[in-house]
């Protein structure tokens, strides 16, 4: 029963949000509780044996992969903290946002515990497409454009991902991850299936050169949506790589070099591009690109040699958990006032820098633990000892960018009354960031003694101090230089958008038969049919009916009950 609740309880909360009257209030209460069954299941340690749903899809399996418990813990905490902000914070919460927020939650939690390719893709697609309404929530021009580019990239990624999944299942003869891993370890690394999975998941992970949607979509979304987009949803790309690449079972030298190079490029590019920005949420979006580049680099190191994943795996999990909690906290922080007149103003400002220090790898944080594990792995990877300098430099650059973030946040933050729900959600996330380095040993090797080592403190302290000093003395020069560098590079998303409109206009000017007597082309005929009175009348009538919450809610309720019934029957039969 706990597995059904962990995955499908957000759908129940979404159904209550559709009910009229006080049903929406009940839905908001359930929204806060929706990720708690998943969090309980991840922390309890009593549910290692998954379940098989015999009557759901093609006998779907839910359970924990080797790193599933850690991923589910971090992601469910991010959803819990963001849900408090979304449900009871003082902002424009609508039924549509609440429903789509919960659908995205269901998809995100479900894909983490999926043990077969079909249910994984179902949850992945649910998360991807239900995120689109969150991005365009305000219906402003810039959010519509951000949503359009996100949707284009998402559809492209879904196509590559679906092709990769179908190919891997065809090669294996089974859709279960346990079988796919064994088969993929015997497939040559030059096989196209790896390229499809790499690109499909890379778009979701915000991998450099595939990241164009991220700096537009994350800032366009409301604060709670930005927190889960950056803190939880982009981790689905990394989870996909971990699920489908045969980690620890074969050497993938080619992909190790590709991922390592793209990871390093993303780490430095994200900082450079972020320094050219002044909007706090945009800076955090580029920081996510930089941090995801670091995780991609770690993943590449683990692919280099079969034996390296034993160390690279824990380092990867440390990085994912730390970034998920810290980045969600920083995004929630953009929604609260940093200029408060109460006696707690100093304490709040001190607490606000904790997630930034953890991302930079400061002493006594989970970030320094991740860097410690990663340095041991990187020294044996494709770049050898130079990787240690790359990691130290990444800490310096992260400090510079996040110092720039706080500088811009201080300028844009306005004085305002305290919002108990917003501050509560932020404080919950701060608490998890504080306790993470001292509790993560329940999942991974105990590195607490390493936190108190003097050499550890020095190795974590000097990049932070250096980064702050560099920003203070050279901030104006860095910003101008970064702006010139970034503006000199074409924004591929805008180029593609212009190319599409140009191609569309050329098609509309073409003639079907190529005769001078034909003055109307195919596009014009299509427009005439679509805009005819009968077509408009029918489409508007259907649209008006389905816009009714009563009709849509009834359909949604029946769908939820049907899927939960199938899952329940499957658990009973297993």
Q: What is the pLDDT along the chain (574 residues), one digit of tens a residue?
A: 688 888 889 998 988 888 877 778 888 899 999 999 999 988 886 656 777 777 777 778 888 887 888 899 999 999 999 999 998 888 888 888 999 999 999 999 999 999 888 899 999 999 999 999 999 988 888 888 888 888 888 888 888 898 889 999 898 888 888 888 888 888 888 888 888 999 999 998 888 888 878 888 888 899 999 999 999 999 999 988 888 888 878 788 888 888 888 888 888 888 888 888 888 898 999 999 999 999 998 888 888 877 788 888 888 888 899 999 999 999 999 888 766 656 666 788 888 899 999 998 888 888 888 888 787 777 776 676 677 788 888 889 999 999 999 988 887 765 555 678 888 889 999 999 998 887 766 666 666 666 667 777 887 888 889 889 988 887 766 555 554 444 444 455 555 556 656 565 555 555 444 444 344 444 454 455 545 555 556 655 655 655 555 555 666 666 666 666 655 655 555 4
Alpha helices in 173-251 (DSSP H): 177-184, 192-205, 214-220, 223-228, 235-244
How many angstroms separate the CA atoms of 326 and 332, rounded? 10
Write down the pLDDT at residue 517: 39
**Cβ distance 363 to 460 under 8 Å?**
yes
- In this prediction the pTM is 0.82
DSSP H or E stretch at residue 507: helix 492-509
Q: What distances in angstroms separate CA 321 from CA 74, 295, 314, 325, one per listed residue?
A: 5, 11, 11, 6
- Check residue 84 and give its pLDDT: 93
State the Cα–Cα distance between residues 513 and 163, nearest whole angstrom: 36
Q: What is the 3-state secondary structure (H, E, C) of 303-316?
A: HHCHHHHHHHHHHH
The dihedral built from the CA positions of residue 94, 99, 105 and 108, taken in this order, carries a sign that is: negative
Question: What's residue 361's pLDDT?
Answer: 86
Whole-number pLDDT of residue 533: 56
pLDDT at 130: 92
pLDDT score for 243? 85
């Amino acid at each position: 029963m706990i597995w059904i609740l962990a995955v499908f309880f957000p759908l129940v909360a979404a159904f209550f949000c559709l009910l009229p009257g006080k049903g929406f209030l009940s839905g908001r209460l359930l929204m806060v509780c929706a990720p708690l069954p998943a969090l309980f299941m991840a922390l309890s340690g009593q549910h290692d044996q998954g379940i098989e749903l015999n009557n759901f899809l093609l006998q779907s399996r839910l359970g924990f992969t080797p790193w599933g418990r850690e991923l589910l813990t971090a992601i469910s905490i991010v959803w819990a903290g963001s849900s408090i902000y979304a449900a009871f914070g003082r902002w424009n919460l609508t039924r549509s946002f609440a429903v789509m927020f919960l659908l995205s939650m269901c998809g995100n939690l479900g894909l983490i515990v999926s043990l077969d390719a079909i249910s994984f893709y179902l949850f992945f697609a649910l998360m991807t497409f239900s995120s689109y309404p969150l991005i365009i929530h305000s219906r402003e021009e810039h959010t519509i454009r951000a949503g359009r580019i996100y949707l284009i990239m998402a559809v492209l990624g879904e196509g590559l991902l679906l092709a990769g999944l179908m190919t891997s299942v065809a090669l294996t003869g089974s859709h279960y991850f346990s079988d796919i891993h064994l088969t993929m370890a015997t497939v040559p690394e030059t096989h196209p299936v790896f390229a499809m999975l790499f690109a499909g998941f890379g778009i979701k992970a915000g991998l450099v050169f595939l990241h164009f949607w991220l700096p537009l979509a994350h800032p366009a979304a409301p604060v709670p949506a930005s927190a889960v987009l950056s803190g939880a949803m982009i981790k689905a790309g990394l989870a996909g790589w971990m699920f489908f690449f045969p980690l620890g079972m074969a050497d993938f030298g080619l992909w190790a070099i590709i991922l390592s190079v793209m990871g390093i490029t993303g780490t430095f590019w994200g900082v450079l591009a972020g320094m050219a920005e002044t909007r706090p949420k945009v800076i955090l979006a580029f920081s996510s690109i930089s941090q995801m580049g670091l995780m991609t680099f770690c993943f590449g190191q683990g692919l280099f040699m079969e034996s390296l994943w034993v160390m690279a795996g824990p380092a990867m999990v440390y990085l994912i958990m730390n970034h998920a909690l810290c980045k969600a906290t920083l995004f929630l922080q953009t929604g609260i006032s940093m200029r408060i007149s109460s006696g707690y103003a100093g304490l709040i400002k001190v607490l606000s820098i904790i997630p930034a220090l953890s991302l930079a790898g400061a002493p006594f944080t989970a970030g320094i633990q991740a860097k410690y594990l990663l340095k041991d792995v990187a020294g044996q990877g494709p770049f050898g000892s130079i990787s240690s300098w790359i990691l130290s430099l990444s800490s310096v650059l992260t400090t510079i960018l996040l110092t720039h973030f706080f500088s811009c946040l201080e300028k844009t933050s306005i004085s305002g009354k305290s919002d108990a729900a917003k501050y509560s959600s932020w404080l919950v996330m701060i608490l998890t960031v504080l306790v993470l380095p001292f509790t993560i040993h329940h999942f991974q090797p105990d590195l607490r003694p390493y936190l108190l080592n003097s050499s550890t403190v020095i190795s974590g302290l000097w990049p932070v101090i250096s980064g702050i000093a560099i920003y203070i003395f050279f901030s104006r020069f860095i910003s101008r230089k970064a702006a010139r560098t970034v503006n000199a590079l074409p924004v591929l998303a805008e180029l593609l958008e212009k190319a599409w409109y140009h191609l569309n206009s050329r098609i509309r000017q073409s003639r079907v038969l190529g005769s001078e007597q034909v003055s109307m082309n195919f596009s014009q005929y299509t427009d005439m049919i679509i805009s005819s009175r009968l077509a408009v009348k029918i489409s508007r009538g259907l649209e008006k009916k389905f816009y009714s919450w009563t009709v849509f809610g009834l359909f949604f309720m029946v769908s939820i009950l049907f899927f939960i019934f199938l899952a329940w029957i499957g658990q009973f039969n297993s």
